[in-house]
Chain A
């Protein structure tokens, strides 16, 4: 019998580091986490990759284009930066400069960009309980940066579908008010979260968890708070998802109806293509998120075992709660107003008959009072309320009151333009969105807004330029871009 050398080659290949473990599960020879010793002592950190100021600026703009902007909560952001700087000082790359930003978003989330930026949702100050937990979140994200992990590009390719394909499909399939309501998730924190957060490889997550624990301990934090972090995160996510559960159910029901083959319009090939592509994309997205949610417990267990093995003594060091609690207390009113704004957005997604507009208006006034009067997050909620009440001018006024150095976050600009257009101020809206589009590097929402209006104005040259531009920038959305031509 001929002896097979395949297993030997496979083992040699794996040991040589040519095969990576994509499962995140401890497989012999494949896991990057050592069986003994600290991960930080065994991993080779890649050399720092330089980024130009323009690259950093563009990467930041991409986040802003998908969000409701940076939360102007300077004290909290500075505090997070101080904690991160402590972590960096004892890390393998103490000279690297990484900037922390607080994104206005009530859902749980944090993300790292390779361009030395970390974005935390402001909600971390609602559900975290100690500086040590904050240190773990920051150390985990910072680990992605220094290990130069590359997030899955799935969401980036899906984003244009999520933003526009549903909208186009629904409008073309003659969906009524009911359908429109189902898609009001766009603009809510939950969809913004899904659009923004990168999907990391499971093995990358494990590496960032272990490196995160190593880094937080080096900076003097208690590693057991990493374990606790998974607990509070899970609890908060459940509460948060419940807040939007009605809308989610409604959305899923509506999507199921739209994607039901029997209800497709056989005469409209474009619509069918968009629906099919979006359906496939959505399924992948849901699988990814379900996977992420399910593995939290597994990750907590791995970290617990690692702490018992490597940081037995450090488990009994003090947890730093004082500064964290004091700062949260000092910002209590503002954080409360953000909670109120989020509650308004959740209430607006319910059926009309259940909405108590008077009560919501009262809450919205509280949310935009005092320190937060120019904050994008609370003004967004008030603008949405006004729009729902049919008070379009007042909705625009709320957006106009948002303080911003440059352009407003993209959803604000688009909403204001749509409202202006509905009030007959199309020229102003088109002119503004042309500038906004150039600033944000031509997101697909800009094409979607501009094309029909420019075409209607009789400027066919510019209309054709828009279709061409859309097709070049979003080749995967060729059908959608060409569909604009048929409007």
Chain B
């Protein structure tokens, strides 16, 4: 009985810990084309979407991969795209007025708001994605 109780507590702890994780950071990326909109300027790589998050580095447009893993967009401090580079486990955030994300996956299923165009924009899936409304 005591052993069962210990197992139960461990299971509960694992579940609580798992729920606490933000899955959107770790899964559900869309392989996307990344286009540097203004090549004359270096693209800053932020550690997070907030205004206080530190800058991890900056890349020239010719050093920026043409394809990235795209996780989503935050608007808490400007329009910031959450991306990862292939072979690099770190999360980076780039400014939406510097990088244009265009999803390569042909379809993304979402709940549409008013029209597909609006829905695409609201979820920051980037231009070019074929959006399928679930509703």
Contact = CB atoms under 8 A, between A and B. Distances in A.
Contacts of B107: none
Contacts of A193: none
A224 B97 contact: yes
Contact of A236 (B51, B77, B117, B122): B117
A127 B95 contact: no
Nearest to A133: B121
B76 A126 contact: no
A235 B77 contact: no
Which one of B77, B98, B117 has the greatest number of beta carbons of chain A within 10 Å? B117
Interface in B85-116: 95-98, 100, 113-115
B38 interface: yes
Which one of A225, A319, A335, A336 has the greatest number of beta carbons of chain B within 10 Å? A319
B41 interface: yes
Contact of A319 (B38, B78, B115, B127): B78
B75 A224 contact: no
Contacts of B38: 301, 304-305
A444 to B, nearest CB: 36
A49 interface: no
B135 to A, nearest CB: 10
Contacts of A128: 121
Given A301-B38, A319-B78, A227 B118 contact: no
A85 B76 CA distance: 24
B122 A325 contact: yes
Nearest to A321: B75
Contact of B122 (A224, A321, A336): A321
Contacts of A201: none
Sort chain B's interface into a size bin. 20 to 34
B37 interface: yes
Contacts of A362: none
B123 to A, nearest CB: 10
B114 A224 contact: no
A307 B95 CA distance: 13
Interface string A223-240: 011011001100110010
Interface stretch (A170-178, A280-288, A326-334): A326-334
A129 B96 CA distance: 13
A339 B78 CA distance: 30
Nearest to A313: B51
Given A239-B117, A325-B113, A329-B113, 18 more contacts: A130-B75, A224-B95, A227-B37, A227-B97, A228-B97, A231-B127, A232-B121, A304-B38, A304-B98, A315-B95, A316-B78, A317-B51, A321-B75, A325-B118, A328-B113, A328-B118, A332-B114, A335-B114
Given A129-B118, A328-B114, A317 B78 contact: yes
B32 to A, nearest CB: 15
A301 B94 CA distance: 17
Interface of B: 37-38, 41, 51, 75-79, 95-98, 100, 113-115, 117-118, 121-122, 127
A238 B57 CA distance: 35
Contacts of B41: 304, 308
A335 B117 CA distance: 12
Which one of B38, B78, B98 has the greatest number of beta carbons of chain A within 10 Å? B78
Contacts of B100: 231
Contacts of B96: 224, 227-228
Interface of A: 125-130, 222, 224-225, 227-228, 231-232, 235-236, 239, 300-301, 304-305, 307-308, 315-319, 321, 325, 328-329, 331-332, 335-336, 339
A328 B127 CA distance: 20
Contacts of A307: 97
A301 B38 CA distance: 7
Contacts of B76: 318
B133 to A, nearest CB: 11
A321 B114 CA distance: 14
Contacts of A130: 75
A117 to B, nearest CB: 26
A232 B79 CA distance: 13
Contact of B117 (A127, A231, A336): A127
30 contacts: A126-B117, A126-B118, A128-B121, A129-B118, A129-B121, A227-B96, A227-B97, A232-B117, A235-B117, A235-B127, A236-B117, A300-B37, A301-B38, A304-B38, A304-B97, A307-B97, A308-B41, A315-B95, A316-B51, A316-B77, A318-B76, A325-B118, A325-B122, A329-B113, A331-B114, A332-B113, A335-B115, A336-B114, A336-B115, A339-B115
Contacts of B118: 125-127, 129, 325, 328
